[in-house]
Amino acid sequence: MGVNTYTYESTTTISPTRLFKALVLDFDNLVPKLLSQHVKNNETIEGDGGVGSIKQMNFVEGGPIKYLKHKIHVIDDKNLETKYSLIEGDILGEKLESITYDIKFEANDNGGCVYKTTTEYHTKGDHVVSEEEHNVGRERIMNISKAVEAYLLANPSSIEIVEGDGGAGSIKQMNFVEGGPIKYLKHKIHVIDDKNLVTKYSLIEGDVLGDKLESIAYDVKFEAAGDGGCVCKTTTEYHTKGDHVVSEEEHNVGKGKAIDLFKAIEALFKALVIDGDNLIPKLMPNVKNVETEGDGSIKKINFVEGGPIKYLKHKIHAIDDKNLVTKYSLIEGDVLGDKLESITHDVKFEPAGNGGCVCKTKTEYHTKGDYVLKDEEHNEGKKHAMELFKAVEDYLLANPSIYA
């Protein structure tokens, strides 16, 4: 038996303690939620889940991997290190006895993390693991790591109503995760006018104010643009302490953060709608490719062999990049079966109150005969759509400069 060793490093803006907790301590719960299209569950089949335990990761049916069995050697939450071995599963094949991973999470200079992985391949006979083989395995692991990173980046904070009912007069507090530059921000809501599309609120407490500001008031108006889009006009009032004058540079820092929130909505539309043909096959391993037929109004999604779906054919009715709206119909494919003629989706991307995006989808099922669709059937389709949506969302969060 031989041993081949490879090492590699990855960096992230997430703190080492937070990433260790997610990737190591909460791995069994978190990964099946984030990668539900691939991972069914994680179960401890020997031990208490700690050092010496054996855990099995079970994958969904129809995929290339059924299960992976790991033995835990080290979980060091003080030094942020873990060590475990893959001892059984489809990946080992006929040439590998086991694979051992030693991972260390270390702080870098910018407050983020470098996680260093040493991989030992314990081979059968005289087989030597090539760099190409190693890279395939590394990519699988990195896909999991990136999904967890994206989740942590997408959930940097929580928002709670500390006074009122959430409407005008209420006070809301945004709590940030430990280790970051901001602990919390407290806002007072003055106006929410959904008829005239106006909101007004003030930052009344939090680290951003420092010792020079009493509060910051925002008056935001959403108006129709001449091209059919939207103009968002914001008036910002800085209520200072003493004779401090807010510089243009200070103002631009806050302005840049606000603009980034609106860019996130456009980025999601571009990724899911405009660039979906190229992006989705990269993010979804069960998708082989997307083909365009005719003038581009018919698109066919081809799936990899061995799965439950061979292909899906869609007709595109609308792509409105100004109002961020798309409409399309599933007109052919295994999903329709013998009970459905087609399924039409009308999707709108709108700004959310927390600065993110609300993706509103209206789905019409055109049935054959007098068949009535059941809630559980709709929920099953919704689940598959959400898996695709989350894969794209995670990609954007992990790559914030894409589509910016």
157-246 to CATH, choices 3.40.50.10490, 3.30.530.20, 3.40.250.10, 3.90.1310.10: 3.30.530.20
DSSP classification of residue 274: I
Residue-level pLDDT, tens digit, the chain, 404 residues? 789 999 999 888 888 888 898 899 889 888 888 888 788 899 999 998 889 999 999 998 888 889 999 999 999 989 999 999 999 999 999 999 999 999 999 988 877 889 999 999 999 988 999 998 898 888 888 888 888 888 777 666 556 677 877 778 888 887 766 666 777 889 999 998 878 888 999 999 988 898 999 999 999 888 877 766 677 788 999 999 999 999 988 888 777 666 655 555 566 677 777 777 777 877 777 788 888 887 778 999 888 887 788 899 999 998 888 788 899 999 999 889 889 999 999 988 877 655 567 788 899 999 999 888 888 888 787 877 777 777 777 777 666 666 65
Which residues, including other chains, have CB under 8 Å from residue 303's CB and lie 6 or more apart?
286, 287, 288, 309, 310, 311, 312
Q: pTM for the complete prediction?
A: 0.46
Q: Does this chain's domain 2-154 share its CATH topology with 272-398?
A: yes
130, two tokens: 């090539």
Architecture of domain 2-154: 2-Layer Sandwich (3.30)
Architecture of domain 272-398: 2-Layer Sandwich (3.30)
Whole-number Å distance between alpha carbons of 239 and 308: 61
pLDDT computed for residue 328 by the predictor: 92
Strand-pair category, 39-46 with 213-224 = unpaired
Question: In 3D, which of 361, 395, 356 has the Cα closest to residue 276?
Answer: 395
Coil vs helix vs strand at 333: strand
278-296 core/surface letters (b: 16 or more CB in 10 A; e: else)? ebbbebbbbbbebeeeeee
pLDDT computed for residue 214 by the predictor: 95
Whole-number Å distance between alpha carbons of 383 and 352: 22
Which residues, including other chains, have CB under 8 Å from residue 375's CB and lie 6 or more apart?
none
What is the CA angle 147-388-228, rounded to 5? Answer: 110
pLDDT computed for residue 399 by the predictor: 64
140, two tokens: 């699988």
Structural contact between residues 163 and 171, judged by C-beta atoms closer than 8 angstroms: yes
299, two tokens: 């698109």
Whole-number Å distance between alpha carbons of 70 and 88: 7
Torsion of CA 383, 384, 385, 391, to 10 degrees: 100
- What are the Cα distances from residue 357, in Å, to 74, 268, 366, 386? 41, 8, 29, 15
The full set of domain ranges for the chain reads 2-154, 157-246, 272-398
pLDDT computed for residue 355 by the predictor: 55
66, two tokens: 């059924």
